[in-house]
Amino acid sequence: MGHSIGRWDGDTLVIDTIGFNNKAWLFVVTRRTEMLHVTTRLRRLDLGHLEIVAKYDDPGAFKNSVTATVVDVLAPDEEIDEVVCENNQYTEHVGAK
């Protein structure tokens, strides 16, 4: 729903997303504009925890940036799988539209 570029910053995967189209939504009820810029930082804290920090900048909709932090607890024997999504072909395999 936008254009994302990822890069590594040490042990953190940083994903910058801009160019959102009208199919994207933000928190279901929050309005947004085409100026929306989302920076997502993913970091494995340890074997059982994945930290996700997302910063939302949209000067057309917000007075200030909004940052949300989530720490997911993974099952002790759970690993993070790689998913390749080229031209949205992955959605065909999971039934998403």
pLDDT at 96: 47
pLDDT at 80: 63
pTM, two decimal places = 0.70
Average pLDDT over the chain, rounded to an integer:
79
Question: Bigger pLDDT: 4 or 30?
Answer: 4
Assign residue 95 a region (left: φ > 0; alpha: ψ between -120 and 50; beta: otherwise): left
Contact between residue 83 and residue 91 where contact means Cβ atoms under 8 Å apart: no
Burial of 43 (0-12, 13-18, 19+ CB in 10 A): middle
Asked whether residue 32 carries a pLDDT value surpassing 90, the answer given is: no
From the list 5, 10, 64, 73, the residue with the least C-alpha distance to 39 is: 5
Asked whether residue 12 carries a pLDDT value surpassing 90, the answer given is: yes
